Amino acid sequence: MHISEFQEMMKQLYFERDKARGINGTLNWLVEEVAELGEELKGINREATEKEFADVIAWLASLANIMGIDLEKAALAKYPNKCPKCQASPCKCTF
């Protein structure tokens, strides 16, 4: 499945609710899910961690749907198989 197909699936599932909640409400959910992912990363429960990763990409897709942004197109435009700063793959930027 491509990112765009996942985003479309999320649109079919949740777009009306996402639209009604709005940008700020959906952003708040995304931020909350990122915080929950951060908590899970401290632990050892891999299954719970995987679920938090799923929640983060789901809420990111919901937010993109509200904004009418194609996540796959945006991601590949910025990261076209090379680092956007040094243009190399793998990245050769200094830390």
Interface residues with Zn ion (CB under 5 A) are 83, 85-86, 91, 93
Task: For the CB of residue 1, give the shortest distance to Zn ion in the complex, in Å.
Answer: 28
- Cα 42 from Cα 46, distance rounded (Å): 11
Q: Report cis status (omega within 30 of 0) of the bond before 84.
A: no
Residue that is written with structure tokens 């009604």 in the block: 20
**CB closer to Zn ion, 23 vs 76:** 76
DSSP class of 11: H
Enclosing H/E stretch for 15:
helix 3-41
Nearer of residues 34 and 83 to Zn ion, judged by Cβ: 83
Least Å from the CB of residue 94 to Zn ion: 9
- Minimum CB distance to Zn ion smaller for 53 or for 79: 79
Q: With respect to Zn ion, which residue has the nearer C-beta, 23 or 93?
A: 93
Would you give the DSSP letter of residue 44? S
CA dist., res. 93 & res. 49, Å (int): 29
CB of 90 to Zn ion, least distance (A): 8
In the complex, minimum distance from the CB of residue 95 to Zn ion, in angstroms, rounded to a whole number: 10
